[in-house]
Structure 1
Amino acid sequence: MVLVNTLIPIFVLIGLGLFTRHIRLFDSQSIQVFNPFILNICLPPLFFWSTASVALTEILNLRFIAITLVASLLSGALVWWLAKRFWNIQHPADRMLLSLSGLNPNTIYMGVPLFTLLYGSHGTLPVIISSLTFNILFMGLGMALLDHLTQPEPTRIRTLLVRLFVKNPLFMPPLLGMLWSACGLPKPEALSGLMTLLAQATAPVALFTMGLSLYGQSVRGQLKPILLISSIKLLVHPLLALLLASLFWPLPRIWMEGVVLANALPAAAMVSVFALKYERQVSVVSSVIVISTLVSLLTLSGWMLILPYLPALRAH
């Protein structure tokens, strides 16, 4: 029942976005309105409150972060090796973009709604920590390396840091929340009510916008790499996280569920923005995002069916 009550609403809202684009109730310009609302109005308070309302020791869950990093690096390395060994992709910038599509999950538009429906607005901390990890270490460093590999005059480190830490609306709020928590500041009830309202708006608007952005996207490029990268993202990536959490860095049940689900999310749309920016692997990366998003209805269902057995698996 949890499976039905969680995943069906998610994909119905995505489908509603697709349908309204199809009947021309909304157009591509609408995405330019909804995206800033999500990224600048809904998510920063949610990220702030999710970290401000829990102990700092819970936020700095080093085992969770280590599992996320190692599982992602292994998934990305597997895609890199396949691209070089079997797909004859020579330029490292091309291989990096493919690797990013195989390791970077859609924590914002799919992860936050999924965790909100599963655990409530106070249960989004695992996906927020995952989002910070991916945005800072993988997307931030990835952007710096892609600039270095493709630009005749690479972007200066200072410019990259400002873009990553200052202009990114999802970086400072959780850090301020950590500071709030560390200082033991009070949590006014009125502020809590505001955060709850914004959290309730985040999930449906993010999913609807995702449907709007998927409209008109088609699968282009070589089918074999697209399917393999999508499979790595949806199956291998979370499986690696599960194995690491079971065998090397045991986690409490809620955190084990969180690390598996966060890594089981489909490929992040931000990777296609990078592909367009550097004009490399655009068709393959975009197709991976479309395929992994559609197929994730099945794969997420599978992982959610497995979740109740995770503590028993870990006990062995």
Structure 2
Amino acid sequence: MFSPSMAWLSSRALILGICISFVTGGTALQAQSAVLVVDAFNKKVHVAADAQSKRPVGGLAKIATAMVTLDWAEASKVGVGVLATVPAYAFQMTGASSIGLQPGDQVTLRDLIYATMMGSDDIAAITLGDFVGKDHLSRLVRAGHPMEEFVKQMNQLAKREGARATRFTNPHGLENSRPMPYSCAADIARLAIYAVSRPAMRFYTNQASRSITIYRGGQQLSMALSNTNQLLGVDRIDGIKTGNTPRSGGCVVISAEKPPTVQVQADNTSLIYRHRMVVVVIGSASPFEEARTLLHQGWAAYDRWLAAGRPITDKRQMLDQF
């Protein structure tokens, strides 16, 4: 297990009331991309194209890897400060570590999540899977490969969040597993919305740089990480994940939150509305440019929707229908 042109959804877009003229400043979006822009709190889709098409998504799979680890850390009450050992077999699965991890290194789960989400390090992702998978098997008193157990948890998370067109086969997202992994823009949006609902995950993804500690042969090494998300801090963007493989092309998931608004009711009580947008781009030659353009368009559509009183005239406008 471990060893088309883009179809613009003209008819569907008209049904959803979605503007599909993705042009800002004279720059059109890439024709091969699958995209989806959704309001994270209401799950209202504002822009979509080819959003249900099964595709390789590369490192975007690491969103599920990190969330399974965080869920395990919380449920087990072990936390993320425990040390995990980099397994030797990790390098048979993916080759070298982009941040220089070596077999036998020990790193806290916290720092491995930073390396996985900020630096998109494949060995860090495998190490998370190995540690959590072993613990699952131990608690269940069951034999098996820790990676297979962890991937099972990734797929269970995807299923729980309504991802119907997703199959994970490894924790790093490379297309070197058989069968090959895949997902779609709508499913990645579901996982991203779950991720940003957790303050801990937002903290992992909204930092431009971070130093992590590696314990190697009795020595303590400091390693500097840089976030691969070029849009971090632009237009209130605070995450989430990038990816790029030969099969997936350029991929990015971004999230941005505007200040909340307060609405006074007739009885003088107040309702507070939060506003967060999630943008998914898969298979783009210019993923960051495309994602930022989509974010602007998504907020414009969202503001029109708010001004109209948040109408839901067709259930197909909602993420759970994608």
Q: TM class by shorter-chain length?
A: under 0.3
Q: TM-score, normalised on structure 2? A: 0.27
Greater helix share, 1 or 2? 1
Q: TM-score, normalised on structure 1? A: 0.27
Larger Rg: 2
Structure with more contact order per residue of length (Cα contacts < 8 Å, sep ≥ 6): 1
